[in-house]
Amino acid sequence: MRLAVKRTSPLLHGLPKSYSQLGNREIIRELIERVMQVIQIPLLKDNYGYLIVCPATNEAAVVDPSEGDPVLRQVEAQNVKLTSILNTHHHRDHTGGNPFLLERFNLRVYGHRNDQERIPGLTDPLGEGNEVAVGNLRGRVFFIPGHTKGHIAYLFENKLFCGDTLFVGGCGRLFEGTAEQMLASLSKLAQLPADTLVYCGHEYTQKNLEFALTLEQHNPSLNKKIEQVRALRAQGLSTVPSTIAEEKETNPFLRWDSPEIHKTLQRDSLITGTDPLTVFSKVRELKDHY
């Protein structure tokens, strides 16, 4: 079979050799070595951790290891060199595996500087705009408080690891932050490109979307997505990742401008104003009791 690669493809940008001097098979080999790998790891009851692998160096990082054994099994199965832990926040269901892994590997541990006394083994305190490296991969840090006061997300290429701030169809509870902070954090993530993949920390999607339907039952994108999600969950399959585009179409916590959500809340005399903070705060309150 003849292999063909468009010479103008943006994927070729930054290749170590002039691609005009490479054959198609060499180009494809170079591209494969540059493709970031993400391996989802089911943890505890409904948590997800993620192994981020740089194929060029075989180095890997784990995002939010709730427990150590499943991560170790994946590291061994993938035959990669684990070099770091990327924690999004301090909650134990996202950091519980840190001590186990630190006993077995020499690791850098990343997290927000507000969590220096709360993330086990933290070596590299981070803030907004900092960068983390996994082999040749580079990830940008976003400070997104609300769920906790030290919550961050990591963006590698078009892949967002956002812990418990943005879920598929939902957002995290306000344990340490305010509604204003969470709204600002979600607004920041909503500005990312539409094709950004959303890798969140829990499998909450079906219940999240069932709640969303109580607010916006005539949303065609929402009705289509919940059917897809129900089919996946009936087979025991993951509903993560989503995309920023899908979340803006279906997630009530990103749809504070939705006329139908406004109408639903006003019909039940739950709000008078329709500014984003008022709508978001009421939707969050309703979800807390759903």
Number of H helices, E strands in the chain: 10, 14
Q: Yes or no: say if 88 and 99 are a contact pair by the CB < 8 Å rule.
A: no
Which of 90, 112, 147, 262 is an active site residue? 147
Which of 94, 112, 151, 262 is an active site residue? 94
94 is catalytic: yes
151 is catalytic: no
CA–CA gap between residue 144 and residue 137 (Å, rounded) = 22
Which of 64, 90, 91, 112 is an active site residue? 91
Q: What are phi and psi of 273, to 5 degrees?
A: -85, 165
Which of 112, 151, 164, 262 is an active site residue? 164
* Token code pair at residue 171: 């957002």
Which of 90, 112, 151, 202 is an active site residue? 202
Which of 64, 90, 93, 115 is an active site residue? 93
* Token code pair at residue 71: 């991560």
164 is catalytic: yes
22 contact partners, CB below 8 Å, separation of at least 6:
15, 30
Give 202's DSSP letter. Answer: B
Q: How long, in residues, is the chain?
A: 290
**H or E element, residue 217:** none
Which of 89, 90, 151, 262 is an active site residue? 89
Q: Would you name the residues annotated as active-site residues?
A: 89, 91, 93-94, 147, 164, 202
